[in-house]
């Protein structure tokens, strides 16, 4: 007598995405067919173009305008109420241009994920590409990380590096880095949704059975020695 295998109920994680602008990284997440439910997109700006993109994908949108609140604490409190109404497993910052209070970060400890346009811990904060060019670095990139109260210094999940070219401007370098942001951000969220990464007691990201190439990236390219 044949028995059908019992179905396994796998809990699908729910995420809320926070944006402030065009939402290109949000779009990358929406297009990635992630194994999760995107419950809502929330912006601190009513004129954020990313809100219309989310609506086109049938995603619920909300606005919590920071200008309507006298201080960061009151804004973060209202934002938290909005987020909690969706009961998400993860809160993803996709170009959300607000510094969050320590109380807000503690409320969502190990649930807040951010993407930053530099190879952290180098160039935290703003104007990362211009600063990298000013310093003459040869390799630049982007980082997906957990958010902590120490801004742009949370545990690193994944990074992508690009060479800095001799004729780069902040705009050309930013465009090349953004292409990599669109690749690694969905990958990080997919790992989290599939429980393939975790945090150690030391606060470092641990990966389950994920391979690393071990190949170096050297820029400018080295010439081969002639015999």
Domains of the chain: 13-197 (3.40.50.170)
Asked whether 23 and 53 are in contact (CB, 8 A), the reply is yes
SS3 223: coil
Q: What is the pTM of this model?
A: 0.91
SS3 163: strand
Q: How far apart are CA 110 and CA 107, in angstroms?
A: 9
Q: How far apart are CA 48 and CA 23, in angstroms?
A: 8
How do residues 81-96 score in pLDDT, each as one tens digit? 999 999 999 999 999 9
The answer to whether residue 22 is catalytic is no
pLDDT of residue 152: 87
Q: How far apart are CA 136 and CA 154, in angstroms?
A: 25
Residues in the chain where the model's pLDDT stays below 70: 1-10, 225-227
- Catalytic option among 116, 129, 140, 145: 116
Long-range contacts of 5-12 (CB under 8 A, 24+ apart): 12/36, 12/37, 12/193
pLDDT of residue 189: 97
Phi, psi of 125 (to 5 degrees): 85, -150
Asked whether 94 and 29 are in contact (CB, 8 A), the reply is yes
């Amino acid at each position: 007598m044949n028995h059908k295998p019992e179905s396994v109920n796998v809990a699908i994680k729910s995420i809320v995405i926070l944006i402030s602008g065009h939402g290109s990284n949000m779009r990358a997440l929406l297009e990635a067919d992630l194994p999760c439910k995107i419950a809502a997109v929330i912006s601190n700006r009513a004129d954020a173009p990313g809100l219309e993109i989310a609506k086109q994908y049938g995603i619920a949108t909300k606005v919590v305008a920071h200008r309507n609140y006298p201080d960061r604490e009151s804004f973060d409190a209202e934002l938290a109420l909005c987020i909690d109404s969706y009961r998400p497993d993860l809160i993803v910052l996709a170009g959300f241009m607000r510094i969050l209070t320590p109380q807000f970060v503690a409320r969502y400890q190990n649930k807040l994920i951010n993407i930053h346009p530099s190879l952290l811990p180098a160039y935290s904060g703003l104007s990362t590409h211009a600063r990298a060019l000013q310093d003459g670095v040869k390799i630049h990139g982007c980082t997906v990380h957990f958010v902590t109260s120490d801004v742009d210094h949370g545990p690193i999940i994944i990074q992508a590096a690009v060479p800095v070219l001799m004729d780069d401007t902040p705009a050309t370098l930013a465009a090349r880095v953004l292409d990599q942001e669109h690749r690694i951000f969905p990958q990080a969220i997919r790992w989290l949704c599939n429980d393939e990464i975790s945090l150690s007691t030391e606060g470092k990201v641990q990966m389950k059975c994920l391979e690393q190439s071990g190949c170096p990236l050297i820029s400018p390219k080295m010439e081969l020695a002639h015999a």
